[in-house]
Amino acid sequence: MIRVVVADDQALVRAGFRMILQAQPDIEVAGEAEDGSQAIAITRQRDPDVVLMDIRMPGIDGLEATQTLVQDNHPRPHILMLTTYDTDEYIYRALRAGASGFLLKTAPPARLIDAVRIIAAGEALLAPTVTRRLIESFVRRPPPGYATPPELRALTEREVQVLKMAARGMSNLEIARSLIVSEATVKSHINRLFAKLHIRDRVQAVVLAYETGLVTPGDNPTIHQN
């Protein structure tokens, strides 16, 4: 069962989301919040798998609430940002705050349901090429002399290679073809680097790779074709 917390300052919106999600046999709405402070408190209390987080809420907004929850020592939920604003800047800020995906409130019910399942499974909602475009547009590259973070130093040479390829927008299948290994092997490398970097999904790995300078805008992978 996928447990979901819905955070939105509009009661009718929350009711609509609850009705859509509760109708699914594998989804349970574990709580609701009308602002960022409540979202933090209820998430810590109910321990959901997914939080539907509105970006613009009174007091603590969804971006700040997301960042707080991602930094918690508690089990961190996957966070799906919801907004009516379809702009690259909002999407990047949501991903930078620690969200696993981004969905417009105008999306049809079936898309919302699919999004919750995708996020709960640890996948990124945005396509890798879209994520790359956003990060290349908004990320701040590290200054000269920037030291490699200790988390990256813990990765093996092959794990660094896989991280670079993922950050450039390559799918697991493309990485497997390039390295001439199985897709299952690539997934194992990705799971291990997630654990070492203390991150939960591919989007956060991509953000980290760009912000630490491991990958720079304009890098292009060479894909091996079998």
The reported pTM is 0.68
Identify the band that residue 103 occupies on the pLDDT scale cut at 50, 70 and 90.
Answer: confident
Q: Which amino acid is at 164?
A: K
Question: Who wins on pLDDT, 206 or 19?
Answer: 19
Give the model's pLDDT for residue 19.
96
Give the model's pLDDT for residue 223.
36
Does residue 225 carry a pLDDT above 50? no
Per residue in 180-213, pLDDT tens?
Answer: 999 999 999 998 998 898 887 777 787 788 778 7
Tell me which of 3.30.70.3270, 3.30.70.260, 3.40.50.2300, 3.20.20.10 is the CATH number of domain 136-211: 3.40.50.2300
Does residue 11 carry a pLDDT above 60? yes
Does residue 32 carry a pLDDT above 70? yes
Give the integer Cα–Cα distance in Å for 75 and 176.
Answer: 31
Give the integer Cα–Cα distance in Å for 203 and 122.
Answer: 10
Contact 142, 211 (CB under 8 A): yes
Per residue in 104-132, pLDDT tens?
Answer: 888 899 989 999 998 888 776 765 555 65
Identify the band that residue 18 occupies on the pLDDT scale cut at 50, 70 and 90.
Answer: very high
Question: Mean pLDDT, the chain, as a whole number?
Answer: 83
Question: Who wins on pLDDT, 167 or 46?
Answer: 46
Burial 15-46 (b: 16+ CB within 10 A, else e): ebbeebbeeeeebebbbbbbbbbbbbebbeee
Give the model's pLDDT for residue 86.
61
- Residue span(s) of the chain under CATH 3.40.50.2300 come to 2-126, 136-211
Give the model's pLDDT for residue 121.
81
Encoding tokens for residue 168?
């450039």
Give the integer Cα–Cα distance in Å for 170 and 220.
Answer: 10
The residue assigned the tokens 């980290």 is 208
Does residue 222 carry a pLDDT above 50? no
Of the chain, the percentage scoring pLDDT greater than 90 comes to: 43
Q: Which class does domain 2-126 fall in?
A: alpha beta
Give the model's pLDDT for residue 25.
95
Contact 82, 55 (CB under 8 A): yes
Question: Who wins on pLDDT, 63 or 27?
Answer: 27
